[in-house]
Structure 1
Amino acid sequence: MNSIKVMVEEHENIRRMLKVIREVSYRLMTQGDYDIDDFPRIIDFVRTYADKHHHGKEEDILFKTMNEEIEKLSKSGAITGMYIEHDMGRLYMANLEKAIEGFKSGDDKKRLDIIANGISYSDLLDRHIEKENTAMYKFAENMLNDNTKLFIENECEKIENLATEAGVQNKYIALIEEMESKYL
């Protein structure tokens, strides 16, 4: 399925940013006067590229369809687990944003909250991506019928085309490359 191939490629881009998040968190931990100005850009990447664009396709199209079509998965809670992990990631980003605001207001102890939420998000998403790539996507390819696969392909293609027109992929790939050159 091409839509799954695209999602796996997006996972690789997300993992690239996870490495940046870990490095930025490390620098914040080890450098007393570290400038945190890149964190809002990282949060924008996570919320727009990883969550809205990528997770939107998973939640609204792929997982929803799998939940409706594959009784074994819907009963096992596997898909629900994916939704829960997406929500945990959103919580980490909200907590990260609050910690950044507190840190910028002069509360140096918020440094710990920034690091904790950045590292927690990175760890969660890395493990989550592995489950999707090795299990959930394989289930979709092996267990969905051809008509359902075609529906998923068409719906994902619509979202990809709209995102391409809006420049979403280009903007966030450029951000990843910029951050990698700065931090890795």
Structure 2
Amino acid sequence: MSATNTLREDHVHVRRLEKIIFKCVGELNKGEEIPFSDLTKITIVISEFIDTIHHSREEDSYFPCVSSHGSLKDEIHKFLVEHELGRNVARKLSHHLKRWKNGEDARENVIRYLKTYAVFLNDHLNKENKFFDDAESSVLTPQEESDMYDEYRSIFAVVKKVDDMVAEIDFLESRPWNTA
């Protein structure tokens, strides 16, 4: 396994969440009710898996390593800007979900930010996957790949948290509103 493959594996799970979010948006737009607990789980996976774990791996380790070769710096900068955009959308989603749970009329805001986040993920993942191909084939050495992979795996709490987040995605995929 390598650092790049670890990030690609993360993307597989993020892509699963993207599909869940699009299905959720479709159901909400049809007037269906989605339990607040499920909507909350979506925001937790966004916050704890995508942002805290996946984007941190990229921002704290992968991007600096690639950048140290003097390569792909423009792409990295764009990804950092996109990560911040994703964080802002996720914050707005969480804010409006709290409002809706507290009885305010925020359903449409939740739908809008869910859809915005899913569209963001689709575009962002496509670009990052190409970036990973370029970095793996022409920038990173096998030793750098191995060292970063070892770093990712060395923090047991993060490995456990990834497993927990994948279990949450499994749960969301099995929900009646998502399987209809």
Matching of residue 141 in structure 1 with residue 140 in structure 2: no
Equivalent in 148, 152, 156 of residue 159 of structure 1: 152
Residues 163, 169 of structure 1: 8 Å contact kept:
no
**Residue of structure 2 equivalent to 1:90:** 87
Matching of residue 172 in structure 1 with residue 165 in structure 2: yes
1:74-111 Cα deviation digits (max 9, x unpaired):
2xx21111111111111111000110111122222x11
Instruction: Indicate how the Cα distance of structure 1 residues 23 and 5 shifts in structure 2: closer, same or farther if over 3 A, else same.
Output: same
Structure 2 distance, partners of 1:89, 1:154, is 28
Matching of residue 126 in structure 1 with residue 122 in structure 2: yes
**Structural mapping, 1:110-121, within 5 Å:** 110-121=106-117
Instruction: Indicate how the Cα distance of structure 1 residues 2 and 18 shifts in structure 2: closer, same or farther if over 3 A, else same.
Output: same
1:165 Cα deviation (Å)? 6.8
Structure 1 SS opposite 2:165: helix
Instruction: Indicate how the Cα distance of structure 1 residues 66 and 150 shifts in structure 2: closer, same or farther if over 3 A, else same.
Output: same
Structure 2 SS opposite 1:167: helix
1:34 Cα deviation (Å)? 4.3
One-letter amino acid of the structure 2 residue matched with residue 93 of structure 1? A
1:9-32 Cα deviation digits (max 9, x unpaired):
110101101111122222222226
Structure 2 SS opposite 1:69: coil
Residues 6, 149 of structure 2: 8 Å contact kept:
no
Instruction: Indicate how the Cα distance of structure 1 residues 6 and 127 shifts in structure 2: closer, same or farther if over 3 A, else same.
Output: same
Identity %: 23
Matching of residue 104 in structure 1 with residue 108 in structure 2: no
Instruction: Indicate how the Cα distance of structure 1 residues 10 and 59 shifts in structure 2: closer, same or farther if over 3 A, else same.
Output: same
**Residue of structure 1 equivalent to 2:49:** 49
Structure 1 SS opposite 2:35: coil
1:122-149 Cα deviation digits (max 9, x unpaired):
1111111111112x11221133252xx5
1:129-179 Cα deviation digits (max 9, x unpaired):
111112x11221133252xx5234323322233246761122111111111
Instruction: Provide the aligned C-alpha RMSD in A.
Output: 2.0
Structure 2 distance, partners of 1:165, 1:60, is 14
For structure 1, which runs of at least 5 residues remain unmatched after alignment? Answer: none
One-letter amino acid of the structure 2 residue matched with residue 83 of structure 1? L
Equivalent in 31, 53, 76 of residue 79 of structure 1: 76
Residues 92, 121 of structure 1: 8 Å contact kept:
yes
For structure 2, which runs of at least 5 residues remain unmatched after alignment? Answer: none
1:53 Cα deviation (Å)? 1.1
Structure 1 SS opposite 2:155: helix
One-letter amino acid of the structure 1 residue matched with residue 148 of structure 2? E
